[in-house]
């Protein structure tokens, strides 16, 4: 149920979800309300008057009893309970007219096969590891097939299952299990990718256990490892959890991890760390989901090529050396326990294949989740992170490349940058007259720093308000204390220390902005180079799919404003979120996807930017906000001109 | 040297910026080309060390490969500059004896052989006792450990003798009967001997040496020949492969006279098999006659042309101590063609004369007098012994008749080659066997002794990857017939209990044999 909120005095209306925080509704509507503590009710600056309708909460010691009776509430503590009319008081409200320029709605992507029923309808709900219950007739004189062959021929005849195989270890258990279940058993079958591959029977249980079949999906990010527990019967996500990749203390990015792995027992250490983290995630999600480890039949993992090789303890050295050769782009299924993953002996691990050293399984997983490989629309897929991976294509062909963006998008290389966790500034608005900010943090805590998506929005707002110019340099003539010089470095104060958790002013500096510009420049120019190579231009792009480790949705308009994304109608941009995790989830449900993956990997041409001469030119031109060639961004140009009149 | 075995030398194109295909896919492509196969499985463990090895060897390698039912499998990659050969071990997993041969997988050369007693005999000399034991708590695991330990010891010995190391053994191909295949792998075979006689598994396929505890290369692959049923095991499939039965244009027959008599008749068009374990007729088994070969055991018996006396030969020509199975068949033949026994298999006192003694109302023929015996007691063949031999030879003939005539609808004369497999069979003189009507009367040069065909087939596989698919084609194409001991069988059996048979016309050569063996004594 959506509710309508009307903000007075400018009569700006917005539809929001029930229970939406009032301050977020204001931010979305482009209504500026002073807020500097991140939305946790600490600073007390965001008082508004509810003129009609009801809100939940909003009461604070910052409001006198008299104020409360009048209808004053703190916007950050209020959630929308009905249609509302809210008056933003003079002290809090500033002139929003110039801010209220096409705020840009956010679009989220429909993952392919998000719905298990859809898969069922298409006959594709065939998990890579499936349980089948067999009610066989007991052995008898005249029907004295061997136990193992009895199971196999029953599967052949009644379930059209072929090319079956069983390990010696399992064979040894068969005579007892088959008799314990009086010839009624549940077999767990791991399917091959290729139709002519073998179907491995990985487990046999007496009687019917088909109701209890679970899968895990794990995204091995360079920074964070996310896991989900999935019910293969219902398609439900039972639990989800993320942990920082334990390898972080050995290097922030893949290159520093590769270098660490090259020395001494570095490879072993990094391998152990990632396994430890995965096990931590698994511990949590199996507990939350209340499932037994022996009931987990598959774990699908996706990571970039370096993460994948570290997971499997394969020396990643050649990934960073010319000509950048990964050990393998496809890995065979294996028993998860074999590499130390804390699951049953029979649980199969499936690792997403990649395309090249820098376009790995995480990107392929995202591409699979986005479904772009099935659609005729020309799609630009961008995975925004420390390594920017880009794929362009449609159902017929695909090209991809990767650029090193640096850690800015993940909060690294930025003075007060942080990952998208509680206390990270994720959204921001700046009053164009007073240059006072309005911030919202993840979890509505006092601010600790700023995350990648917050940074993009911040840079865009700084540019729109003229605080910085297109080179990312501060306008030192502006009359505000927030722009200042500390140790010869110009910066803008986002939050003063009293409203932070870290007891320091949170600022953004010119070097921070340089890093961000380089990061976005790398992304944009990589896309441009790829398009150049295949003889297409930005205008040919029919759709953009964004994936990546942003804690929340990246604000599209901001991303376009700074030139991270090409100028495109917001409706054509869809945000996939953690594409890698989604890809793993879908893979758990349908084995058909694994065959598609093989085809996608085969039809994808990889470009190494290092050997593509035009890349450097494109990159240099992209080191401006939004770009040296403003004609690529006509609407941004027009808007910036309008705002700065 | 351009052999198409399980070891191949390959060279990969080196990576460049214009071709930075991943190492594994680069290798896969080269292997597919080399093997002319559309898939080669590369295990994860090999991918782990692939990047550094390929670079250390300048992108060439010696690839050790194997197969499972679904594809080629890459077992290991070796330094192409090293001369250490990659080896394979062929194993005949016999109930009493195990024989192992070492093969250079690259050249196909056989470099050594070793034989040893199956240590499971300590638990039980026959299969039945071992199966009972295996059914007990951890019994199957114990029996497996016994045999695997012995294989490990002997493999190490054999390798040492050949100047190699067991770590260089990458492949093992083993063939044994169904029960032995179970007992070798630690699978409980209890149901084999319980109605309705069910093996646990017929196709164990390829698995890793580690799963069995075999001390060879840690990533070594082991293949056990598949069984057809409880009474028709991998040793026979191995034998069929060895004899090339599945490729013959004209029908042939293979008879393995071991503990049971197992028979396969066929050609490239069909294969029919039956095992003679069923039925009371064969109880005791053909090979139960006599004793195991050792010095002093009588292995040959013939009629002296001049004197008409029976002559014997002993192993190592020592003083006689007993008689083995093949000697027994010779003896029966000599007794029959010299008229010492009649067509019913009864001693003829008039002909045997002094050589016939009687004890407890049972007649016995004195083959060796006490004075000439190595044991100090005479070596006798009693009427009871002879009756049991008569039953055995009759059963043998009847089974042959059932399978060749009644099942395959052929005449014995249609058989191009009569393969005799198994250790026991190697020593049987076909002429003697024909004389008593144990084997059909077909030209003597039709008979061919195969020797240890179970080991032979395992060797064939290690030398020739194409054999892998043939094994499963053989298994698939065999029609196994259960030997029903019904009235018809009993009627045929009764006829065969005569010497050579009630239907004498079936043995036209008998007169010629008699003439050749015994000069007409012209008064």
Which residue bears the tokens 């901001």? A558
| Alpha-carbon distance values, A227 to A243, A309, A580, A581, A582 (Å) | 9, 19, 11, 7, 10
**A363-398 pLDDT, tens per residue?**
999 999 888 999 999 999 998 877 789 999 999 999
Collect all residues with Cβ–Cβ distance below 8 Å to B136 and sequence separation of at least 6. none
**A325-351 pLDDT, tens per residue?**
999 999 999 999 999 999 999 999 999
> Is B185 within 8 Å of A172 when comparing Cβ atoms?
yes
Considering only CB atoms, A608 lies closest to which of B20, B70, B229, namely B20
**pLDDT, mean over chain A:** 88
Write out chain B residues lying below 8 Å of A330, CB-based.
24-25
> Is B25 within 8 Å of A331 when comparing Cβ atoms?
no
CA distance A142 to chain B (A): 8
Write out chain A residues lying below 8 Å of B25, CB-based.
328-330
Helix axis angle for B466-477 and B453-463, nearest 10°, is: 130
CA distance B203 to chain A (A): 8
Q: How far apart, in Å, do the first and last CA atoms of chain B sit?
A: 68
Q: What is the DSSP string of A381-416?
A: EEEESSEEEEEEE-SS-EEEEEEE--GGGGTTTSTT
Name the 3-class secondary structure at A625: coil
> Is A327 within 8 Å of B71 when comparing Cβ atoms?
no
Burial of A137 (0-12, 13-18, 19+ CB in 10 A): exposed
Q: What is the DSSP string of B299-355?
A: EEEEE-TTT--EEEEEGGGPPP-EEBHHHHHHHHHHHHHTTSB-TTS-B-HHHHGGG
> Is A611 within 8 Å of B195 when comparing Cβ atoms?
no
CA distance A169 to chain B (A): 7
Beta bridge partners of residue B100, listed in sequence order: B91, B114
Nearest residue of chain A to residue B55 (CA atoms):
A318
Rounded to an integer, the average pLDDT of A308-333 is 94
Closest C-alpha to A590, from A38, A121, A129, A177: A129
Q: Would you state the pLDDT for residue B388?
A: 84
Burial B169-178 (b: 16+ CB within 10 A, else e): bbbbbbbbbb
Nearest residue of chain B to residue A176 (CA atoms):
B188
Q: Would you state the pLDDT for residue B258?
A: 64
Rg (CA), chain B: 26
Predicted ipTM?
0.85
CB of A425 closer than 8 Å to CB of A416:
no
Considering only CB atoms, A328 lies closest to which of B20, B25, B69, namely B25
Express as a percent the part of chain A with pLDDT over 70.
Answer: 94
Residues 285-324 of A with CB under 8 A from B: 312-315, 317-318, 322-324
CA distance A192 to chain B (A): 11
Is the four-CA dihedral A119, A122, A123, A124 of positive or negative sign?
Answer: negative
| Least confident residue range of A123-137, A265-279, B258-272 | B258-272
CA distance B12 to chain A (A): 14
CB of A280 closer than 8 Å to CB of A224:
no
CA distance A320 to chain B (A): 12
Beta bridge partners of residue B273, listed in sequence order: B264, B480
Burial B350-380 (b: 16+ CB within 10 A, else e): eebeebbeeeeeebbbbbbeeeebbeeebbb
> Is B69 within 8 Å of A146 when comparing Cβ atoms?
no
d(CA A305, CA A147): 42
d(CA B305, CA B17): 88
Closest C-alpha to B243, from B442, B3, B474: B474
pLDDT band at residue A514, thresholds of 50, 70 and 90? very high
Rounded to an integer, the average pLDDT of A560-564 is 93
Which residue bears the tokens 């990047």? B51
Total Cβ atoms within 10 A of residue B248? 15
Nearest residue of chain B to residue A318 (CA atoms):
B51
Q: Would you state the pLDDT for residue B283?
A: 39
Size of interface A-B (CB pairs under 8 A): 147
| Alpha-carbon distance values, B136 to A91, A295, B142, B492 (Å) | 88, 30, 10, 41
Tokens for A160?
């059209």
Collect all residues with Cβ–Cβ distance below 8 Å to A98 and sequence separation of at least 6. A432, A643
Q: Does A161 touch chain B (CB under 8 A)?
A: no
Please indicate whether residue B257 or residue A499 has the higher confidence score (pLDDT): A499
Q: Would you state the pLDDT for residue B75?
A: 97
Q: Would you state the pLDDT for residue A325?
A: 94
Q: Does A138 touch chain B (CB under 8 A)?
A: no
φ/ψ of residue A339, rounded to 5 = -105, 15
CB of B225 closer than 8 Å to CB of B458:
yes
CA distance A317 to chain B (A): 9
CA B371 to chain centre: 39
> Is A322 within 8 Å of B39 when comparing Cβ atoms?
no
Q: Does A162 touch chain B (CB under 8 A)?
A: no
Q: Would you state the pLDDT for residue B278?
A: 35
CB of B286 closer than 8 Å to CB of B339:
no
**A247-283 pLDDT, tens per residue?**
988 887 888 999 999 999 999 999 999 999 999 999 9
> Is B22 within 8 Å of A356 when comparing Cβ atoms?
yes
**B43-81 pLDDT, tens per residue?**
999 999 999 999 999 999 999 999 999 999 999 999 999
Name the 3-class secondary structure at A541: coil
Tokens for B171?
């492949």
CB of B266 closer than 8 Å to CB of B239:
no
Strand order across the A199-206 sheet: A129-135, A184-190, A199-206, A164-166
**B388-446 pLDDT, tens per residue?**
889 888 888 998 999 999 999 999 999 999 998 876 677 889 999 999 999 999 999 99
d(CA B354, CA B342): 17
φ/ψ of residue B339, rounded to 5 = 80, 10
Name the 3-class secondary structure at A316: coil
Q: What is the DSSP string of A547-591?
A: EE--SS---HHHHHHTTSS----GGGEEEEESHHHHHHHHHHH-T
d(CA B497, CA B343): 9
Q: Would you state the pLDDT for residue A286?
A: 97
Q: Would you state the pLDDT for residue A68?
A: 85
d(CA A446, CA A589): 40
For testing the chain B interface, which of A325, A364, A402, A613 should be mutated: the one with the most B CBs within 10 Å? Answer: A325
Residues 555-614 of A with CB under 8 A from B: 606, 608, 610-611
> Is A144 within 8 Å of B230 when comparing Cβ atoms?
yes
> Is B17 within 8 Å of A611 when comparing Cβ atoms?
yes
Helix (H) or strand (E) holding B274: strand B271-275
pLDDT band at residue A205, thresholds of 50, 70 and 90? very high
> Is A147 within 8 Å of B201 when comparing Cβ atoms?
yes
Q: Would you state the pLDDT for residue A453?
A: 85
Write out chain B residues lying below 8 Å of A172, CB-based.
140, 185-188, 200
Beta bridge partners of residue A598, listed in sequence order: none
Q: Would you state the pLDDT for residue A571?
A: 79
Q: Does A195 touch chain B (CB under 8 A)?
A: no
Write out chain A residues lying below 8 Å of B211, CB-based.
167-169
Q: Would you state the pLDDT for residue A104?
A: 37
Pseudo-torsion of CA A34, A39, A40, A45, nearest 10°?
Answer: 10
**B231-255 pLDDT, tens per residue?**
889 999 999 999 999 999 999 999 9
d(CA A616, CA A631): 20
Write out chain A residues lying below 8 Å of B233, CB-based.
none
Rounded to an integer, the average pLDDT of B155-176 is 97
Name the 3-class secondary structure at A161: coil
Considering only CB atoms, B191 lies closest to which of A171, A175, A196, namely A175
Write out chain A residues lying below 8 Å of B24, CB-based.
327-330
Considering only CB atoms, B22 lies closest to which of A140, A317, A327, namely A327
Beta bridge partners of residue A437, listed in sequence order: A430
pLDDT band at residue A90, thresholds of 50, 70 and 90? low
Burial of B448 (0-12, 13-18, 19+ CB in 10 A): middle
Q: How many CA atoms lie within 13 A of A128 on its CB side?
A: 31
Rounded to an integer, the average pLDDT of B491-512 is 93
Q: Would you state the pLDDT for residue B520?
A: 46
Write out chain B residues lying below 8 Å of A606, CB-based.
20
Q: Does A478 touch chain B (CB under 8 A)?
A: no
Residue B1 pLDDT exceeds 80: no
φ/ψ of residue A612, rounded to 5 = -115, 100
d(CA A416, CA A388): 22
Nearest residue of chain B to residue A354 (CA atoms):
B22
Name the 3-class secondary structure at A132: strand
d(CA A146, CA B475): 14
| Least confident residue range of A399-403, A465-469, B16-20, B159-163 | B16-20
> Is A327 within 8 Å of B187 when comparing Cβ atoms?
no
Task: Find out whether the peptide bond into A9 is cis, omega within 30 degrees of 0.
Answer: yes
Nearest residue of chain B to residue A142 (CA atoms):
B196
Tokens for B489?
């069988």
Considering only CB atoms, A323 lies closest to which of B15, B51, B191, namely B15
Tokens for A232?
């293969």
Closest C-alpha to B169, from B64, B270, B72, B99: B64
| Least confident residue range of A553-557, B126-130, B361-365, B471-475 | A553-557
Nearest residue of chain A to residue B71 (CA atoms):
A197
What is the model's pTM? 0.83
Write out chain B residues lying below 8 Å of A332, CB-based.
41-44
> Is A168 within 8 Å of B185 when comparing Cβ atoms?
yes
Task: Find out whether the peptide bond into A435 is cis, omega within 30 degrees of 0.
Answer: no
CB of A403 closer than 8 Å to CB of A609:
yes
Write out chain B residues lying below 8 Å of A337, CB-based.
none
Closest C-alpha to A447, from A468, A467, A418: A418
Task: Find out whether the peptide bond into A323 is cis, omega within 30 degrees of 0.
Answer: yes
Nearest residue of chain A to residue B192 (CA atoms):
A146
Considering only CB atoms, B51 lies closest to which of A176, A315, A322, namely A315
Strands B252-257 and B418-421: parallel
């Amino acid at each position: 149920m959506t509710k309508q909120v009307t903000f007075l005095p400018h009569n700006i209306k917005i539809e929001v979800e029930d229970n939406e925080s009032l301050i977020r509704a204001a931010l979305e509507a482009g209504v500026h309300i002073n807020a500097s503590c991140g939305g946790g009710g600490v600073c007390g600056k965001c008082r508004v008057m509810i003129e009609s309708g009801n809100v939940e909460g909003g009461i604070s010691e910052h409001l006198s009893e008299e104020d409360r009776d009048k209808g004053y509430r703190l916007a950050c503590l209020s959630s929308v309970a009905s249609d509302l009319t809210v008056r933003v008081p003079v002290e809090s409200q500033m002139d929003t007219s110039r801010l209220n320029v096409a705020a840009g709605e956010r679009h989220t992507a429909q993952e392919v096969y998000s719905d298990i029923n859809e898969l069922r309808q298409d006959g594709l709900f065939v998990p890579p590891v499936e349980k089948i219950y067999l009610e066989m007739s007991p052995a008898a004189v005249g029907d004295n097939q061997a136990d193992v062959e009895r199971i196999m021929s029953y599967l052949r005849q009644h379930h059209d299952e072929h090319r079956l195989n069983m390990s010696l270890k399992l064979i040894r258990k068969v005579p007892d299990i088959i008799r314990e279940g009086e010839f009624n058993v549940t077999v767990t079958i791991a399917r091959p990718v290729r139709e002519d591959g073998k179907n491995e029977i990985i487990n046999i249980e007496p009687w019917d256990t088909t109701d209890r079949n679970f899968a895990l999906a794990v995204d091995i990010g360079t920074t964070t490892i996310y896991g989900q527990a999935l019910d293969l019967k219902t398609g439900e996500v039972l639990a989800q959890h993320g942990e920082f990749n334990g390898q972080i203390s050995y290097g922030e990015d893949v290159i520093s991890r590769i270098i660490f792995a090259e020395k001494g027992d570095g490879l072993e250490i990094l391998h152990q760390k990632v396994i430890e983290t995965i096990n931590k995630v698994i511990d949590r999600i199996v507990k939350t989901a209340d499932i037994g480890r022996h009931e987990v039949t598959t774990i699908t993992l996706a990571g970039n090529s370096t993460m994948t090789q570290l997971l499997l303890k394969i020396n990643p050295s050649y990934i960073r050396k010319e000509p950048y050769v990964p050990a393998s782009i496809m890995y065979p299924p294996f028993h998860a326990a074999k590499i130390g993953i804390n699951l049953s002996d029979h649980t199969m691990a499936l690792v997403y294949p990649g395309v090249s050293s820098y376009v790995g399984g995480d990107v392929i997983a995202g591409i699979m989740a986005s479904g772009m490989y099935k659609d005729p629309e020309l799609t630009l897929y961008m995975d925004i992170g420390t390594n920017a991976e880009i794929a362009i294509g449609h159902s017929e062909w695909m090209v991809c490349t990767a650029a090193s963006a640096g850690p800015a998008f993940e909060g690294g290389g930025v003075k007060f940058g942080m990952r998208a966790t509680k206390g990270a500034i994720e959204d921001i608005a700046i009053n164009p007259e007073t240059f006072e900010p309005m911030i919202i943090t993840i979890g509505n805590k006092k601010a600790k720093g700023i995350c990648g998506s917050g940074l993009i929005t911040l840079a865009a707002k700084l540019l729109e308000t003229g605080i910085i110019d297109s080179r990312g340099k501060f306008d030192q003539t502006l009359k505000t204390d927030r722009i200042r010089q500390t140790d010869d470095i110009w910066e803008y104060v986002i939050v003063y220390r009293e409203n932070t958790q870290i007891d320091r002013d949170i600022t953004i500096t010119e070097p921070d902005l340089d890093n961000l510009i380089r990061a976005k420049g790398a992304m944009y120019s990589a896309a441009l180079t790829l398009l150049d190579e295949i003889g297409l231009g930005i205008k040919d792009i029919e759709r953009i799919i964004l994936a990546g480790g942003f804690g929340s949705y990246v604000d599209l308009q901001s991303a376009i404003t700074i030139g991270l994304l090409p100028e495109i109608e917001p409706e054509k941009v869809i945000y996939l979120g953690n594409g890698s995790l989604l890809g793993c989830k879908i893979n758990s449900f349908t084995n058909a996807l694994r065959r598609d993956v093989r085809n996608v990997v085969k039809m994808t041409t990889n470009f190494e930017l290092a050997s593509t001469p035009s890349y450097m030119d494109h990159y240099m031109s992209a080191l401006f906000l939004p770009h040296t060639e403003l004609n690529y961004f006509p609407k941004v140009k027009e808007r910036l001109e309008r705002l700065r009149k | 040297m351009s052999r198409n075995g399980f070891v191949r030398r390959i060279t990969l194109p080196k990576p460049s910026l214009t071709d930075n295909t991943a190492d594994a896919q680069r290798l896969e492509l080269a292997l597919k080309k080399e093997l002319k196969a559309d898939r080669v499985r590369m295990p994860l463990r090999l991918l782990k060390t692939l990047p550094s090895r390929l670079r250390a060897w300048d992108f060439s390698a010696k690839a050790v490969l194997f197969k499972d039912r679904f594809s080629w499998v890459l077992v290991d990659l070796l330094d192409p500059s090293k001369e250490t050969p990659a080896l394979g071990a062929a194993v005949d997993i016999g109930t009493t004896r195990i024989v192992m041969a070492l093969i250079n997988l690259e050249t196909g050369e056989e470099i050594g052989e070793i034989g040893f007693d199956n240590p499971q005999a300590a638990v039980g000399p026959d299969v039945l006792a071992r199966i009972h034991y295996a059914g007990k708590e951890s019994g199957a695991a114990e029996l497996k450990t016994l045999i695997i330990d012995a294989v490990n010891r002997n493999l190490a010995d054999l390798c040492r003798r050949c100047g190699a190391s067991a770590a260089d053994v990458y492949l093992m191909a083993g063939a044994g009967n169904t029960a032995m295949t179970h007992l070798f792998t630690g699978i409980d075979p209890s149901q084999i001997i319980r109605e309705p006689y069910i093996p646990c598994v017929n196709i164990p396929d390829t698995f890793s040496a580690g799963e069995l505890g075999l001390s060879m290369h840690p990533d070594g692959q082991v293949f056990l020949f598949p069984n057809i049923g409880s009474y028709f095991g991998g040793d026979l499939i191995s034998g069929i492969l060895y004899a090339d039965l599945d490729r013959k244009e004209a029908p042939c027959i293979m008879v393995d006279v071991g503990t049971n008599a197992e028979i396969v008749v066929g050609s490239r068009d069909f294969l029919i098999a039956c095992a003679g374990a069923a039925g009371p007729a064969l109880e005791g088994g053909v090979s139960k006659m006599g004793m195991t070969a050792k010095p002093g055991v009588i292995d040959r018996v013939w009629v002296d042309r001049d004197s008409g006396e029976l002559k014997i030969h002993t192993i190592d020509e020592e003083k006689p101590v007993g008689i083995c199975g093949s000697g027994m068949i010779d003896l029966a033949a000599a007794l029959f063609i010299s008229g010492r026994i009649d067509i019913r298999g009864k001693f003829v006192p008039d002909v045997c004369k002094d050589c016939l003694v009687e004890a407890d109302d049972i007649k016995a023929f004195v083959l060796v007098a006490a004075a000439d015996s190595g044991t100090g007691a005479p070596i006798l063949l009693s009427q009871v012994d002879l009756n049991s031999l008569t039953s055995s030879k009759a059963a043998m003939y009847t089974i042959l008749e059932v399978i060749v005539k009644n099942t395959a609808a052929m005449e014995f004369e249609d058989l191009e080659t009569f393969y005799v497999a198994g250790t026991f069979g190697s020593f049987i003189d076909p002429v003697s066997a024909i004389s008593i009507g144990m084997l059909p009367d077909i030209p003597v040069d039709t008979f061919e002794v195969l020797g240890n065909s179970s080991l032979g087939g395992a060797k064939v596989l290690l030398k020739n990857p194409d054999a892998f698919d043939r094994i499963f084609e053989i298994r698939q194409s065999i029609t196994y017939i259960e030997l029903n001991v019904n009235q018809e069988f009993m009627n045929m059996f009764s006829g065969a209990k005569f010497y050579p048979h009630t239907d004498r016309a079936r043995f036209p050569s008998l007169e010629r044999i008699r003439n050749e063996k015994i000069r007409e004594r012209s008064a």
